[in-house]
Amino acid sequence: MGKREFDMHWHVTKVFAHAVMAMGIGMAAMMPNDVMAQQLTLQIKSGNLNQALQQVIQKSNIQLVYNTDVATSIQCDSHSFQNTDIKQILAVLLRGTNLTYTERNGIYTIQPNKAVASQQEGSISGIILDEVGEPVIGASVIVKGTTQGAITDINGKFKIPRVKSNKNVVALQISYIGKKTIEEKVKLNSDNTFTLQEDARMMSEVVITGYQDIKKEKMTGAVTTIRADKIKERYTPSIVDNLEGRVAGLSTYGGKLTIRGTSSLYAETSPLLVVDGVPIEGDINDINPYDIESINVLKDAAATAIYGARASNGIIVITTKNAKKEGKIDIEFSTNMTLYENKNMGYADNFYMTPEQQVNTEADYWDYYFFNNDGEVTDPLSSTSSSIEEGSSYISPIQWAYYQNALGNISKETLNATLEQLKKNNFAKEYADEVYRRQVIQQYNLSLRSRSKKAQSNLTLNYKYDNSGQINSFDKQMNINYKGSYEIAPWLTATASINTVINRGRTPGGDYNSSHTDPWAVPAYESMYNEDGSDHLFYYWYSGNEYWSGKDDANFKDLGVNIVDEFYNNVQNTDRQHMRYHGDLLFKPLKGLTVNAQFIYETEHTTTKWYANQQSHAARTIYNAYTVLDSEGKVSHLTTEMGGMLRTTNTDGKYWTARGQVNYANTFGKHSINALAGLEFRETLYNGSNSLMLGYDEQLQNSSTQTVDFGVLSQMIYNSYYMPLAGGFPSQQFAFTPYMQDGMSPVMEERHRYASGYANLTYTYDEKYNVFGSFRKDYADVYGLNAKFRGKPLWSVGAGWNLHNENFIKPIHWINFLKLRVSYGVTGNIYQGATSYMTATSTGMNQYTNRPYGEVESPANPNLKWEQSRTTNVGIDFAVLDNRLSGSIDYYNKVGKDIFSNRTLDPTTGFTSMFVNMASMRNRGMEISLSGEWFRALDRKNFGWETTLTYTYNKNEITDVENPSTLAYQLISNPYRTGYPASALWSYRFAGISDAPGEEGQTLWYVEDGGKAHNAQGKSVDILEYSGQSEPKTIIGIDNRFTWNGFSLGILMAYYGGHKMRALVESETFTVPTSAIPSYFNNAWTPENPTNTPGIGRYGSNSLGSEPSYSNMAVYPADFLKIRNIVFGYEMPHKWIKNLGINRLSLSFQINNPKYLWVKNNVGVDPETLGIRTLSSYVFGLNINL
């Protein structure tokens, strides 16, 4: 930026100072003169006249209009006034200057003694409206460069008479508290209309913590505030997604929401959710994004400790909207439609072989198997024939064709023609055409708000529909929220709210055979259609193959799967209803003293119905699995012969919180106190039930369950009648366990109760120095066998220094806000998976005794207690250059103690391990938040450019944990180790591909002493290498927003870095897979092509291990930079729509997840999906305010 341009921007920043001087003039204009007369006592130090007049304004309630540029240029001596009339004070301060003052209707105007000659004189009038078209009462309108001005009346109108100008044009500076100051050029004798927009910087001066509302100047904790105007700048179905890039320290990576890193190994790591001052148990996705007034993210102990044992993970405080306008109903309608791009189903793009490549790979193997194996395969014809007759193995069309050729049933030419035809097929494309649909999400929101002097009412209706992007699937949500308040008396206000969320969804039902929901589970060369165009049926492992002779047995049902039909035959319907009731009574018995009583009650009921009708694969599998032959040769069916299966799960949650709190806030001279104390009680209850119906008919709503003996079914391990040559069909594994067992299992009832007492105090001296302290003691029934652990004291202390209020800073006019703060505190976390008491679970019926039995899950442990975090935070908040640049910088060190982890026990105790408080962890890092205005749009026609940047660095380390792993596979499955992050990746060290006889194509791994072995799982943990962490260390968000003449453009970019990922894992395979084959096998090892990719087909491994899944060769850098969204918006001028009764109308178009800008890995993998990139989506939005 050049010097001239910089000087211009510097001049524009002075406009804001004029707005501050004129705040509140509207109230003064309606006061009689005798009310305005004041006697003041104040000390004025030497400086300039502007500083002296500012002290007068701060110590009085007068309205003073003057030119700050002129006043700043005039020196002023020190003065002392004792009970002096305001007019005398002004006379003394103006003595010796060429200025004088006048007073009219309580407004004091300072102006030069000598009038300035002008060529033209006229008046200027107009009306000031807010962003929704309502009149702004008491706005200040000043003619730039003069002391002439006016205050808008009750209708938002103003008139400035006798305005002089050499060019018939003057500039008006218009300001109002909480609104952005604007500057407009107007002609003399003109009538004008101006619109003021909300100023998020001004509104964010108050921080809402849930327990209290406190000025930002008094906060000693680390807090980020997001206002409603920022939230609505971009549309996201989830509130969490809207926070990305806006809150330093917050991570949404991998769908996991954390603040300042992972703070526990097994307990909850998500932040606590607080809505309208009270913690809730519901999901954050139940909060209507259109109904949010502000979001405050509390990060350090000083901000969160008041919440006690649930504060270690940070807190998200959401405040819902209230009506703002009196005397009318404010109606707002919004709608957004999101269209996702079609899924890319290209095999190569998804890292799979193309149909032609898979045909060639498989043909190469089966040609070797049947014709060129040199005796390595004993009697391949007999082996294949057995598999076909047994029905236990998948037989691919290529294997069948080679088998028929080997038998002489088809010629080589026919075989080759079959292969060529298969190469032309494309199962994924056909699947996409038949199953997938363009995903569309529709959301509609209607808000009705009204306000009177004593009451207000807010009703919001929100409906969302998601077609899920595939046939016979959807997700619907209805969200109804009502909040109202009434001032019963000047000292008593009642508030009540009711929130109802109703969800209904449908997804494909569960099945151990997932081929109908996963297009990559089927070979690429398969087709959904037969040669005659009819639907092809698919057969799978242990379900009978396509060529199995037993599939035509009249005693059994054909297990062929029609993929499209299965989406309708096997479905899971979920209905959920969440209710939240909130009541609040606010008493004001004395000035500065309030007593608050709150009660919140939540209920949640979820019903999940999995219905597999008579034609479903699941129902047919159950039927066949329990079709038996007795000793007399009679066939019988142990389950129902007709109907399907209905498995129902009902879960219920009931939660309540009661709180009583006393608040006190007062100022005594230079001393200010904000204090609160209260008691809180909470209970959570969770229970449910399962039921199973067989022979269920959805139309008749009846079943034949009573005819089935489930005891007999549960004890049948194999059915040798259904598959006699395969040793028997595994009925328990593939029928009872996946389909029936869960439907018969009980749902555990769990109740917990909590009690807390708390208090905090903020003391401020001379608006400069803040001292803060909080204390809370929590009790919970989870712990308590040992009396000393029943209650957990949690506390925090903090201090803040408002340097901008210091006399040595005040003369530095480019510093608007500067604050140093430091805090230290102890917060807690609860692990619900452990309790002080012995726990046991009933697990069903013993298959030998046919009697119920249970298992002791964990022994009693009287010494269990809360996890705790000790956090130190040092931060600075600042705003400079007329608030053009603002932000905060924080350094924190969060040490977790008494973290639950698994401890090894002496087996003679009856247990091999148990969870105890023995681990510790540390998160330390830095957060930077910056907001800058490169160009400030003072009115609609000006160009504006704002940039927000957030920087997060977090280093996570486990400082103490017991890890009994001695073998490599044990550390892989239990990766927690002292000195490493909680998300550590441990890897086997790849040593190449073996070419030894009998082991060709098999992977080798480094083991002890530099040796190599095919099996490394059972070796020492020392053979593993640390490959990095899977959670990002560094997160950067960059949000740019441009505005001009009603148009807006927003671009959000996100960077995640410092972490690793496992991707394109080159697993070993036996012979050839029965699904789509990963494309890395195109470079598989052969003697002629000795690569580092495991062999396939004839060089496939006969000993499959898990080592390739955890190979260091599959670890890649996961750093990336993406554009999250690009938002185009347009707000129509009010004059275009006011005759339609519309106050505000805006349109938007948003692009989400365009192609990433940069990824560090060189294999083309999206680090967030570990495969193909995230789908882009396009959002069309409309907002209307009446």
Per-residue tokens: 494: 């009642």
Residues 41 and 127 in one domain: yes
Report whether pLDDT(1164) > 80. Answer: yes
Per-residue tokens: 726: 């395969």
| Domain endpoint, select from 270, 304, 325 | 325
Report whether pLDDT(784) > 70. Answer: no
Residue 836 or 248, more confident: 248
Residues 6+ apart with CB under 8 A from 524: 347, 352, 353, 354, 355, 357, 358, 425, 426, 427, 428, 1076, 1077
- At 14, the pLDDT band (50, 70, 90 cuts) reads very low
Torsion, CA 702, CA 708, CA 711, CA 715, rounded to 10:
-120
Closest CA to 26 of 121, 107, 97, 119: 107
pLDDT of residue 30: 31
**Mean of the per-residue pLDDT values for the chain?**
86
Alpha carbon distance 382, 378 (integer Å): 8
pLDDT of residue 201: 52
pLDDT of residue 526: 94
Q: How many separate domains does the chain show? A: 3
- 150 phi and psi angles, rounded to 5 deg: -155, 165
pLDDT of residue 35: 34
CB 664 within 8 A of CB 673: yes
Q: Which of 54-68, 168-182, 978-992 has maximum average pLDDT?
A: 978-992
Closest CA to 810 of 54, 192, 97: 54
pLDDT of residue 638: 92
| Domain endpoint, select from 303, 325, 347 | 325
The SS3 assignment for 1031 reads: coil
Domain CATH code at residue 214: 2.170.130.10
pLDDT of residue 821: 94
Amino acid, res. 1123: I
- What counts of helices (H) and strands (E) characterise the chain? 23, 57
Half-sphere CA count of 957, side-chain side, radius 13 A: 10
Residue 1114 or 325, more confident: 1114
- At 392, the pLDDT band (50, 70, 90 cuts) reads confident
Whether 409 maps to a domain, the answer reads: yes
Closest CA to 772 of 59, 200, 205, 207: 207
Q: Give residue for tokens 């909850």.
A: 268
Report whether pLDDT(12) > 50. Answer: no
pLDDT of residue 19: 30
CB 293 within 8 A of CB 317: no
Degrees to nearest 5, angle at CA 105 with 104 and 109: 40
- At 693, the pLDDT band (50, 70, 90 cuts) reads very high
- At 842, the pLDDT band (50, 70, 90 cuts) reads low
Alpha carbon distance 788, 154 (integer Å): 63
pLDDT of residue 512: 65
Which stretch of 75-79, 535-539, 654-658, 1150-1154 has the lowest confidence by average pLDDT?
A: 75-79
Alpha carbon distance 976, 972 (integer Å): 9
Residues 304 and 369 in one domain: no
Residues 6+ apart with CB under 8 A from 877: 216, 817, 818, 819, 821, 887, 888
Whether 847 maps to a domain, the answer reads: no
**Local structure of residue 1093 (DSSP, 8 states):** B
Question: What residues make up the domain containing 224?
Answer: 201-325
**Local structure of residue 740 (DSSP, 8 states):** I
Amino acid, res. 1182: L
Which stretch of 253-262, 524-533, 739-748 has the lowest confidence by average pLDDT?
A: 739-748
Residues 170 and 217 in one domain: no
Residue 1018 or 1113, more confident: 1113
pLDDT of residue 118: 44
- At 958, the pLDDT band (50, 70, 90 cuts) reads very high
**Local structure of residue 62 (DSSP, 8 states):** -
Residue 52 or 215, more confident: 52
pLDDT of residue 20: 30
Q: Which of 39-43, 471-475, 934-938, 1159-1163 has maximum average pLDDT?
A: 471-475
Residues 292 and 415 in one domain: no
CB 48 within 8 A of CB 92: no
Question: pLDDT tens, 800-822?
Answer: 999 988 999 988 989 989 999 99
Residues 230 and 287 in one domain: yes
- 89 phi and psi angles, rounded to 5 deg: -60, -45
Whether 631 maps to a domain, the answer reads: no
Residues 254 and 306 in one domain: yes
User: 860 forms bridges with which residues in the sheet?
Assistant: none
Residues 91 and 206 in one domain: no
pLDDT of residue 989: 95
Residue 6 or 287, more confident: 287
Query: Could you tell me what percent of the chain has a pLDDT over 90?
Result: 46
Alpha carbon distance 372, 357 (integer Å): 21
Whether 182 maps to a domain, the answer reads: yes
Q: Which of 8-22, 543-557, 909-923 has maximum average pLDDT?
A: 909-923
pLDDT of residue 92: 85
Question: pLDDT tens, 254-263?
Answer: 888 899 999 8
Average pLDDT value for residue range 915-937: 92
Residues 6+ apart with CB under 8 A from 459: 447, 448, 449, 480, 481, 482
pLDDT of residue 848: 65
Dump strand ranges (E) for 766-884. Answer: 769-780, 791-802, 815-829, 839-845, 852-858, 867-880
- Evaluated on CA atoms 1131, 1133, 1136, 1142, the torsion sign reads positive
Residue 98 or 606, more confident: 606
Which stretch of 143-147, 708-712, 924-928, 1071-1075 has the lowest confidence by average pLDDT?
A: 143-147
Q: Long-range CB contacts (< 8 A, 24+ apart) of 488-496?
A: 490/588, 491/587, 491/588, 491/589, 492/585, 492/586, 492/587, 492/588, 493/585, 493/586, 493/588, 494/583, 494/584, 494/585, 494/586, 495/582, 495/583, 495/584, 495/585, 495/586, 496/581, 496/582, 496/583, 496/584
| Domain endpoint, select from 148, 176, 199 | 199
Angle at which helices 355-371 and 397-407 pack, to 10 degrees?
A: 30
pLDDT of residue 154: 78
Degrees to nearest 5, angle at CA 608 with 606 and 614: 160
pLDDT of residue 1092: 92
pLDDT of residue 911: 76
pLDDT of residue 326: 76
Average pLDDT value for residue range 432-456: 94
Residues 311 and 364 in one domain: no
Average pLDDT value for residue range 30-51: 65
Report whether pLDDT(748) > 50. Answer: yes
Residues 206 and 190 in one domain: no
Report whether pLDDT(1112) > 70. Answer: yes
The secondary structure of 781-815 as a DSSP string is: TTS-SSGGGSEEEEEEEEEEEEGGGSTTTTT-TTE
Report whether pLDDT(630) > 60. Answer: yes
pLDDT of residue 72: 80
pLDDT of residue 890: 96
Report whether pLDDT(584) > 60. Answer: yes
Alpha carbon distance 290, 448 (integer Å): 12
Amino acid, res. 204: S
Q: Taking phi first (over 0 means left), then psi (-120 to 50 degrees means alpha), and beta for anything else, what does residue 783 get?
A: beta
- 1037 phi and psi angles, rounded to 5 deg: -120, 130
Residue 413: Cβ-neighbour burial (10 angstroms; 0-12, 13-18, 19+): exposed
Report whether pLDDT(17) > 50. Answer: no
Alpha carbon distance 196, 205 (integer Å): 19
Residues 6+ apart with CB under 8 A from 401: 410, 415, 418, 419
Average pLDDT value for residue range 99-104: 83
Q: String of b and e for 46-77 (b: at least 16 CB within 10 Å)?
A: ebbbbbbbbbbbebbebbbbbbbebbeebebe
Whether 83 maps to a domain, the answer reads: yes
Which stretch of 325-339, 531-545, 652-666, 1125-1139 has the lowest confidence by average pLDDT?
A: 531-545
pLDDT of residue 10: 31
Tally of CB atoms within 10 A around 1061: 23
Residues 33 and 103 in one domain: yes
Task: Provide the whole-model pTM.
Answer: 0.81
Q: Give residue for tokens 């410092």.
A: 1058
CB 554 within 8 A of CB 576: no
Query: Could you tell me what percent of the chain has a pLDDT over 70?
Result: 93
pLDDT of residue 1035: 97
3-state SS record for 265-293: CCCCCCCEEEECCEECCCCHHHCCHHHEE
CB 400 within 8 A of CB 306: no
Whether 957 maps to a domain, the answer reads: no
Tally of CB atoms within 10 A around 28: 19
pLDDT of residue 1114: 92
Report whether pLDDT(204) > 50. Answer: no
CB 722 within 8 A of CB 691: no
Closest CA to 775 of 702, 737, 826: 826
pLDDT of residue 103: 82
Whether 240 maps to a domain, the answer reads: yes
Whether 1057 maps to a domain, the answer reads: no
Residues 88 and 140 in one domain: yes
Residues 54 and 174 in one domain: yes
Per-residue tokens: 986: 């441990």
Tally of CB atoms within 10 A around 547: 18
Structural element, H or E, at residue 171: strand 169-175
pLDDT of residue 114: 56
Question: pLDDT tens, 861-910?
Answer: 778 888 889 999 999 999 999 889 999 999 999 999 999 888 887 777 77
